[in-house]
Structure 1
């Protein structure tokens, strides 16, 4: 963990259930997360919360608006009928409120306009800013007589940062996904910026804490540079 950064551990919290005991615990965790994030935001001279965010560099060349590269299936939608789940949206809102972060959609949902619009409406309803979505990039590998499309979501995220945020310099960001993006092409650039969810539980409160920890750390430039072609 970098000096001055939050460390909430690596454990996942699958025990939250809608009973009174766990609801009380969740409320207490929410308070602790928000207070801790506010303390770290003040340490970097930036108030916590969406109202403090700007979409570009500050006049003094300081930090830009934190970004969340958001997958949907296995993060916000952990079911087989396309429902955006309120508990997961609430945890996403905790991250946004604590850090001022806005969303860049990296999910396959961005490929279909009706699905993308559903996400945009849900984000607007909970007060989480939406910046845009990553481009669609393909990497095809020839294996014998087969053409195999390689997963390249990390490259799509890196390309977005290069085009819109100077390669991530001055911009805290985190990618949330149920795919193990670190093992995909370009995944090494996501090291220290990735929170791995599971379809069975999605974005839990513990994982929201990890997102806040990452977004509270000083931004670092990308390790690699890729062609936009």
Structure 2
């Protein structure tokens, strides 16, 4: 992955005390597990690892995998097996509500606790379409192709979104 700035500089971004937390909301199916492909596909996992490494972001599980203990355990195990920290939390589930509402609810409830400065949502669903504030959410969403999953271009875009300072207002 080529970036305009050095990797050394990038890794310091979110590690300065008081600098705030960047969050990646992670869907699994269609993002790190492309449809018709391998679950937790190595290539897609490497793109996710790039996002986490470059930005110091923390993962919040927004996928339906969060709904069961088995699912959460599998996601955690695969993140660790691919040299990433496990997720710090899961979004709430609101029956009949779009996932974007669940994500925004989690951000609102946790922005002070984690000093959240920015977030990106990785999903194969067009999350901005169901968001209360579409324009705002569109600036924080990467919509993947479900059959290819997370790509290098998606990962670069996610890093750029997360590196945009204090963008949750």
Larger Rg: 1
Q: Which runs of 5+ in 2 are unaligned?
A: none
RMSD after superposition: 2.6
Q: Does 1:136 align with 2:54?
A: no
* Inter-partner Cα distance in structure 1 for 2:103 and 2:22: 14
Q: Work out the number of aligned pairs and report it.
A: 167
Which one of 148, 152, 166 corresponds to residue 201 of structure 1? 148
Change (3 A) 1:174 1:37: farther
Which one of 47, 55, 67 corresponds to residue 12 of structure 2? 47
Contact 1:78 / 1:200 at 8 angstroms: preserved in 2?
Answer: yes
Contact 1:67 / 1:102 at 8 angstroms: preserved in 2?
Answer: yes
Q: Which runs of 5+ in 1 are unaligned?
A: 1-29, 139-148, 223-229
**Runs of 4+ off more than 6 Å:** none
1:120-178 deviation per Cα after TM superposition (whole angstroms, max 9, x unaligned) = 1111222323211101112xxxxxxxxxx3x4111111111111114997512100110
* Inter-partner Cα distance in structure 2 for 1:116 and 1:37: 34
CA positional deviation for 1:36: 2.6
TM-score normalized with structure 2 length: 0.86
Matches within 5 A, 1:159-198: 159-166=105-112, 170-186=116-132, 188=134, 189-198=136-145
